[in-house]
Structure 1
Amino acid sequence: MSLDQYGLYIIAVLIAVLTPGPAVMLAITNTVRHNTITAMIGALGCVTATGLMGALSAMGLGAMIMASAILFDIVRFAGAAYLIWLGLKMWRATGKGAVTVSANPAMAHPGYMRIYLRGFVVSASNPKAIAFFTALFPMFLAPNAPLLTQFAVLDGTFMVLSFSGIMGYSLLAARSKSFLLGSARKWFDRIAGGVFVSFGVALAVSRR
């Protein structure tokens, strides 16, 4: 893989990771409801799942999942159900404990392990990511170079850029936290919940 190819890969990845999706929405929600550290833990869960899916694609398992309609649909519907459940949970929490959370975010904190796992599941439940890796990686591989090293570089680069993009959105959300925890709290919860539900519905009705 030449430097020119690697530069094109970085551009392609930046376009993908800067497009808001469930991982970005989760980071914004974690930042507003808790803090940037919580968002970082959730982002680590997201990129761990992303890196794992990249590794699966590199080993050929991604192509197998894409070829199996039943397996693909199981992952897709499970992911859709989780996103819809997460959205409904946020919607039902509208306005509850706004003053308490604003005054002491740690009181309502679910724990870092749960935050990490939530981020992992949000990313792992989207089989479209496997399709993305399966289609993207072969375009930037040099057949005369060690494939394992190239896969490691491509996957690692995606993880770093994905984490950076998610945290970029988190820092932007942190600047508006006082407003979103005030009079706009109930609207933030509703919008965030609605966005997750819409992501889940979109995933459920999508096709390979």
Structure 2
Amino acid sequence: MRWKGWHVGVINYGTYAVGALLIVLLPGPNSMYVLSIAARKGVRTGFRAAAGVLAGDTTLILLTSLGAASLLRTTPLVFDAVKLLGAGYLCFLGYGMLKSARSLWQSTRTPAPATPDPAPATPDPTPAPAPAAQPTDRERPFRRALVVSLLNPKAILFLLSFFVQFVSPTYHDSALPFAVLGTTLQSFSVIYLTTLILAGTYLSNAFRRRRRLSAALTTGIAGLFIAFAAKLATASVS
């Protein structure tokens, strides 16, 4: 690949771009988490989760270029430890979503309280108590998305096996072609995650009116996270 006479060490870039786009479009825990949290919390929170995904993926690309894939391939104990941590964390997220879905299902079965007849107003000299402080949001979407991205050793091995097919073996420095390939992949990710966030925000308006729909989607995504965890836990180096 040449840009204005500048060789960057990438071969068959068009094929790589198509492959990278298809990879980004495949559903995974990262994209499902961004979609679900954007639907539940809104655009700003969705973009915080997307930033965590991009930071994690960028870290994996850097680790791949520095040889982390070789360590995982030659040290099964490290690979097993990382994959079990990742699987456990995905199960933790899935369990949390199931709890949220259960609360939503229960709320759909609770009848709305009857409106009492208005009583005549009487003066009350006692000052009204201060409103209770609202609980803070402890979900921390950036950190959760970052951890989901990093605790996936198969991603590092996949990046290595995918990237090396498009790096020129005669190029003197592998950092530049890895940077070009990684930037392309991350550009597709930005566009895709932005689309998911906007779609999730659109869905959130419907979820506020339809609690059953919100509970069903939350349950489905929780099941996907548990399935992702099972797949990761049974993964092998080969």
TM-score using structure 1 length? 0.87
2:37 is the counterpart of 1:26: no
Give me the whole-angstrom Cα distance separating, in 2, the residues matched to 1:119 and 1:145. Answer: 35
- Conservation of the 8 A alpha-carbon contact between 2:104 and 2:215: no
Query: Which residue does the alignment assign to 2:157?
Result: 131
| Structure 1 residues 38-79: Cα deviation after superposition (integer angstroms, max 9, x where no partner) | 111111111111111111111112221122111111110100
RMSD: 2.2
- 1:91 Cα deviation after fit: 0.3
Output aligned runs, 1:24-173, within 5 Å: 24-94=31-101, 96=103, 110=137, 114-142=140-168, 143-144=170-171, 146-173=173-200
**Structure whose residues are more often helix by fraction:** 1
Output aligned runs, 1:165-204, within 5 Å: 165-181=192-208, 182-183=210-211, 184-204=213-233
TM-score using structure 2 length? 0.77
- Conservation of the 8 A alpha-carbon contact between 1:41 and 1:116: yes
Question: 5+ residue gaps in structure 2?
Answer: 4-10, 108-133
Give me the whole-angstrom Cα distance separating, in 1, the residues matched to 2:155 and 2:54. Answer: 12
Larger radius of gyration: 2
- Greater Cα shift, 128-137 or 175-184: 175-184
How many residues of Structure 1 are paired with residues of Structure 2 in the alignment?
Answer: 200
- Conservation of the 8 A alpha-carbon contact between 2:90 and 2:228: yes
Give me the whole-angstrom Cα distance separating, in 2, the residues matched to 1:30 and 1:122. Answer: 14
- Conservation of the 8 A alpha-carbon contact between 1:53 and 1:62: no
| Structure 1 residues 84-111: Cα deviation after superposition (integer angstroms, max 9, x where no partner) | 1100111012254799xxxxxxx67636
Instruction: Provide runs of 4+ in structure 1 moved above 4 Å.
Output: none
Percent of residue pairs identical: 26
- Conservation of the 8 A alpha-carbon contact between 1:42 and 1:116: yes
